[in-house]
């Protein structure tokens, strides 16, 4: 009799077990970013994902972290290690040269990847397994060129970092297309081995009223160049790229941060209640202000969670859901993917940079 009752119970409960497994699949999601030397970049992004998991009560997603140091060679190694661990989805925040280095591998292996930081046009307009929740370099530079043309004085000096060439080469090309070449001077530097004395000497030969620091990858030495520009031309205006939007810039920019402009993927925090609340929760939990790219990572994770909860469980189904859902409202923004998995999102221009951190 006991065996009969046990058999009946198992028969009744087994469909419920299958239903639960179907509704709550275990998913491995990897975050590839810069964790070396306790980087605030990796800490911010890992913190963003952990906060999302905790606040939403998600238990069925396993997070795997990989440090690529935002270096293209290390990105290839980190990717192969992640693939060996059987990840289902990848989120990256690295620079464009890293994204280009692993793009073919991602598509070969059909690992759905959310790119939150690489805007290179080498990823644009391709039907592949890469989705981006930020505008590409063409749209980004058009926004920046229009702002500088309307709001900053000429002549303009562009100082370009040639290390992250997959970003800065197309960025300069598109910027000059939209801004024009009149009253523009260009100096190339290598932010990984910059000679500040030589740079200052070259800057003193050029007449400028504004400086566009075409530097990405959170190379906070950009702040030192801004101070140098103000030393040479005390009233000049400074424009950064969105990829310098980090509290660490305040440490190197010093007084030059006043009168500088920071493009951002999100509006000023004081004008957005949900963003303001999130940043306060983050600071209270971890004790520091996050980089803004961590918000891109948070949003990517939210989009993935939305797709999984819809029942999509493999790369093609998740991609199909996101591309066919139209505008998707998330906590800080709205995301509308085009047929290629790219977005056309606005840039906001922050003039009170210290106020953001």
Q: Which domain holds residue 78?
A: 9-134+273-347
Nearest CA among 5, 70, 13 for reference residue 42: 70
Using only the alpha carbons of the chain, give its radius of gyration. Answer: 23
Asked if 129 and 143 sit in the same domain, the reply is: no
Asked if 147 and 252 sit in the same domain, the reply is: yes
Asked if 153 and 107 sit in the same domain, the reply is: no
Q: What is the pLDDT along the chain (357 residues), one digit of tens a residue?
A: 444 343 333 333 334 333 334 444 578 999 999 998 778 889 999 999 999 999 999 888 999 999 999 999 999 999 999 999 999 999 999 988 899 999 999 999 999 999 998 888 889 999 999 999 988 899 999 999 999 999 999 999 999 998 888 889 999 999 999 999 999 999 999 988 889 999 999 999 999 999 999 998 767 788 999 999 999 999 999 999 988 887 788 888 899 999 899 998 888 877 878 888 888 899 999 998 888 889 999 999 999 999 999 999 889 999 999 999 999 998 888 889 999 999 988 889 999 888 777
Instruction: Kindly state whether residue 2 falls inside one of the protein's structural domains.
Output: no
Instruction: Kindly state whether residue 4 falls inside one of the protein's structural domains.
Output: no
Residue pair 250/357 in contact by the 8 Å Cβ criterion: yes
Domain boundary among 264, 281, 300: 264
| SS3 call for 261 | strand
Determine the pLDDT at residue 18. 38
Asked if 249 and 279 sit in the same domain, the reply is: no
Asked if 109 and 180 sit in the same domain, the reply is: no
Residue pair 157/214 in contact by the 8 Å Cβ criterion: no
Determine the pLDDT at residue 25. 52
Domains contained in the chain, number:
2
Determine the pLDDT at residue 108. 96
- Measure Cα distances from 208 to 83, 158, 232, 238, 251 in Å: 49, 10, 9, 11, 25
Domain boundary among 264, 283, 309: 264
User: In whole angstroms, what is the distance from residue 343 CA to residue 134 CA?
Assistant: 6
User: In whole angstroms, what is the distance from residue 226 CA to residue 238 CA?
Assistant: 7
Asked if 204 and 238 sit in the same domain, the reply is: yes
Instruction: Kindly state whether residue 83 falls inside one of the protein's structural domains.
Output: yes
Q: Show Cβ contacts of residue 100 under 8 Å, excluding neighbours closer than 6 positions.
A: 72, 118, 120, 122, 123, 166
| SS3 call for 348 | strand
**Would you say how long the chain is, in residues?**
357
Determine the pLDDT at residue 10. 35
Instruction: Kindly state whether residue 352 falls inside one of the protein's structural domains.
Output: no
Determine the pLDDT at residue 19. 39
Domain boundary among 238, 264, 290: 264
> Which CATH number do you get for residue 124?
3.40.50.2300
């Amino acid at each position: 009799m006991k065996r009969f009752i046990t058999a009946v119970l198992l028969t009744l409960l087994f469909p419920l077990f299958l239903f639960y497994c179907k509704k709550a699949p275990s998913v491995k999601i990897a975050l590839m970013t810069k964790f070396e030397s306790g980087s605030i970049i990796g800490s911010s992004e890992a913190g963003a994902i952990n906060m999302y998991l905790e606040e939403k009560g998600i238990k069925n997603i396993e997070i795997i972290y990989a440090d690529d140091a935002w270096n293209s060679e290390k990105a290839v190694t980190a990717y192969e290690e992640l693939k060996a661990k059987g990840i289902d989805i990848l989120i990256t925040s690295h620079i464009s040269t890293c994204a280009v280095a692993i793009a073919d591998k991602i598509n070969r292996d059909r690992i759905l990847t959310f790119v939150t930081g690489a805007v290179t046009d080498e990823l644009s307009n391709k039907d592949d397994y890469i989705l981006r929740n930020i505008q590409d370099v063409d749209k980004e530079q058009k926004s920046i060129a229009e702002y500088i043309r309307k709001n900053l004085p000429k002549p303009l000096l562009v100082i370009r970092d040639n290390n992250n060439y997959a970003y800065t080469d197309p960025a300069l090309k598109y910027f000059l297309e939209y801004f024009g070449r009149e009253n523009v001077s260009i100096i190339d530097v290598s932010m990984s081995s910059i000679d500040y004395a030589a740079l200052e000497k070259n800057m003193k030969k050029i007449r400028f009223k504004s400086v566009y620091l075409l530097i990405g990858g959170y190379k906070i030495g950009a702040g030192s160049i801004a101070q140098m520009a103000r030393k040479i031309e005390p009233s000049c205006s400074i424009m950064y790229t969105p990829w310098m939007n980090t509290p660490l810039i305040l440490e190197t920019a010093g007084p030059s941060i006043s009168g500088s402009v920071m493009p951002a993927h999100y509006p000023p925090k004081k004008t957005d209640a949900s963003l303001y609340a999130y940043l306060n929760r983050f600071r209270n939990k971890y004790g520091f202000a996050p980089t803004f790219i961590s918000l891109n990572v948070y949003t990517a994770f939210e989009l993935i969670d939305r797709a999984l909860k819809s029942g999509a469980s493999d790369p093609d189904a998740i991609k199909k859901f996101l591309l066919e859902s139209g505008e998707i409202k998330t906590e800080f923004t709205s995301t509308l993917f085009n047929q290629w998995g790219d977005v056309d999102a606005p840039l906001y221009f922050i003039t009170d940079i210290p106020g953001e951190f």
